Structure 1
Amino acid sequence: MTVAFTGVLFFPVTPFDERGALESGLAREHVAAGLANGAGGVFPACGTGEFHALSVEESVAMTRVAVEEAAGSVPVVPGAGGTLPHAVELAARAADAGADALLLLPPYLVAGPADGLERYVTAVAEASPLPLIVYHRGTAQYSSALMRRLAADPRIIGFKDGTGDVARTQEIVSVVREVRDDFAFFNGLLTAEASQAAYRGIGVPLYSSAAFAMAPEIARAYYDAYVAEDEQRRLGILRDFYLPLVALRDETPGFGVSLVKAGLRLQGVPVGGVRPPLSDPDPRQEQELGRILKRGVELAAELA
């Protein structure tokens, strides 16, 4: 099972209307805009899409939107995870909706031993013909020994790190490369651009870009500099846009998602707020976000 990933990986938000319900029409416009701006893959109903707060029906609806808009041009990889029945149902229905793979998010609440986590992954893999990318964070802590075993399963095609433990990730990359050379490695940290240079150095070339959902021109400018290894341009965007964004993000838990939705609203895209337990930024924070976005757009234009 092979899924090719190139370019900026797009993690769309899930738009809600004034009643708090999924706004499918706006979701379609949002995904179409990301594709038009050169997204190399669409990951609907994942972290940036508020997976934690979506029903099965809402997750499947977002997957269908992404599949229909992408029309086979780039991979569509929705999220699955949480309780085992929830993860299994999402895995099966994502396949029916036409997805290309699954991002397997952590199980709900409890952290089990390695053999329990392995059985969780296997149960989801058996529920769907779609290949899986496992997400290393929270209650899903993958050891190098476990990843060696999982990498021997052709249904498991990737590993995404959300812990920031570079030493463990380096060990996992090394161990998996002994088993196969077609495995995909992703940096899944919040505002991943801020740490991606380090991850590239340990053999993790791919990364999530939540910023692309609200500022595709800035995210593309960073990605182009990153791929070209143009450190002057890359560091300029990092210094003037991403690091101020990280500082604002770190003011409040959950702002890795909340700020993306706020950034879209500031640009006139009525995606609604975030669902509890996340919170939207206050007026001062929105003003600061607007300033950061303005500077980022200016910088992207200067570097175009």
Structure 2
Amino acid sequence: MQLDGLLFFPLTPFTPTGEIAPEVLGQHVTAGVDAGAGGVFAACGTGEYHALGLSEYEQVVRTAVASVDGRVPVVAGAGGPLPHAQECVRRAGAAGADAILLMPPYLVNGAEEGLLEYIRQVAAASRCPIIIYQRNNARFTPESVVRLAREPSIVGFKDGLGDIEQMQRIVLAVRNVIGEEFLFFNGLPTAEMSMPAYKAAGVPLYSSAAFAFVPEVAMRFHTALHAGDDATVRRLLTEFYRPLAELRDTVPGYAVALVKAGARLRGLDAGGVRAPLTDPNPEHEAALERLIAAGLRTVQE
């Protein structure tokens, strides 16, 4: 599987009564691909994977696959308890996903060998290749990532911890043994804030939550970053991404809730977030609206 360009993590829209809104999701995914996304990651963190039942999960993945219509790869999220993760990867494969983003197991902290075995057992249940997501209770040494990268079914590694030195060690270790085909991603919230550092460490791919509601700003940043346009990168970080990250940090869960609110402000009937997340209060939503306007002004000048 090849991935290139800006990676789109669509929201999961809900109706006013709380059901999945597949038509809205289809519009959302189609618009993202039309705007230049290089890959669609459905039912992942921004898509509230944690809040979806199995039938809802499958519906989200199928809708994303149908909306993409083969134009770019579709990656489905999975994780949590081992049997649940295994069932998710089976359903994602049946729905036509191209790969799996494997998030951490639920709650518990196991020994490293246990974590590696969790990944192997999920991979064994999947017809799709696996991208590992390092975050929370799923933490890896360079040696363990090399061991996993030797598995034919493991094709990538996404970092959500933010330890740049450790990530550099991992990249160097894998490149020395496996070569250039293995994929590396920056998976931090508001990843644009850390992308100059990650790119320098050999990690060119990243999750852009902002793309879900301001694709114009996200694409401008991505183009500037990879063209070496440091002035534009710095301006967008200063005028849009830094204040967005500061607003995100005011309330737990805003890494998703603000994105969904931003999509609503831009005209997508996405509904609210599911508990335990909470939608932004009016003051924070007004601040987000001002930020969106500022970001759009920046890219229009």
- Tell me the equivalent position of 2:248: 249
Instruction: List aligned pairs for 1:93-172, cutoff 5 A.
Output: 93-172=91-170
Instruction: List aligned pairs for 1:194-213, cutoff 5 A.
Output: 194-213=193-212
Which residue identity does 2:51 align to in structure 1? A
- CA–CA separation in structure 2 for the residues paired with 1:29 and 1:154: 35
- CA–CA separation in structure 1 for the residues paired with 2:204 and 2:5: 10
- Tell me the equivalent position of 2:73: 75
State which drifts further: 57-66 or 41-50: 57-66
Spell out structure 1 runs of 4+ moving beyond 4 A.
none
Deviations 1:6-45 (A, max 9, x none): 1110000000000011111101111111011011000000
| TM-aligned CA deviation for residue 268 of structure 1 | 2.3
Alignment counterpart, residue 84 of structure 1, candidates 82, 85, 91: 82
Instruction: List aligned pairs for 1:202-281, cutoff 5 A.
Output: 202-281=201-280
Aligned 8 A contact 1:42 1:77 in 2: yes
Deviations 1:129-158 (A, max 9, x none): 210000000111111121111011111000
Which residue identity does 1:221 align to in structure 2? R
Deviations 1:245-290 (A, max 9, x none): 0010010111110000001111222211111111111000000000
Root-mean-square deviation over aligned CA pairs: 0.8
2:73 match: secondary structure? coil
1:77 match: secondary structure? strand
Task: Give 5+ residue unaligned stretches, structure 1.
Answer: none
- CA–CA separation in structure 2 for the residues paired with 1:67 and 1:252: 33
Which residue identity does 2:176 align to in structure 1? E
| TM-aligned CA deviation for residue 69 of structure 1 | 1.3
Aligned 8 A contact 1:151 1:179 in 2: no
State which drifts further: 137-146 or 74-83: 137-146
- Tell me the equivalent position of 1:28: 26
| TM-aligned CA deviation for residue 210 of structure 1 | 0.6
Deviations 1:189-232 (A, max 9, x none): 00000000000111111100010001101100101101111000
Which residue identity does 1:282 align to in structure 2? N
1:14 match: secondary structure? coil
Q: How many residues align?
A: 300
- CA–CA separation in structure 2 for the residues paired with 1:152 and 1:259: 38
Deviations 1:83-131 (A, max 9, x none): 0011000111111111100000000010111110111000011001210
- CA–CA separation in structure 2 for the residues paired with 1:76 and 1:131: 12
TM norm structure 2: 0.98
Task: Give 5+ residue unaligned stretches, structure 2.
Answer: none
- CA–CA separation in structure 1 for the residues paired with 2:133 and 2:41: 13
- CA–CA separation in structure 1 for the residues paired with 2:50 and 2:141: 24
TM norm structure 1: 0.97
2:133 match: secondary structure? strand
Alignment counterpart, residue 66 of structure 1, candidates 37, 61, 64: 64
- Tell me the equivalent position of 2:295: 296
- Tell me the equivalent position of 2:281: 282
- CA–CA separation in structure 1 for the residues paired with 2:184 and 2:270: 30
- CA–CA separation in structure 1 for the residues paired with 2:176 and 2:246: 38
Which residue identity does 2:4 align to in structure 1? T
Residue 173 in structure 1 maps to residue 163 in structure 2: no
1:190 match: secondary structure? coil
- CA–CA separation in structure 2 for the residues paired with 1:144 and 1:57: 36
1:43 match: secondary structure? strand
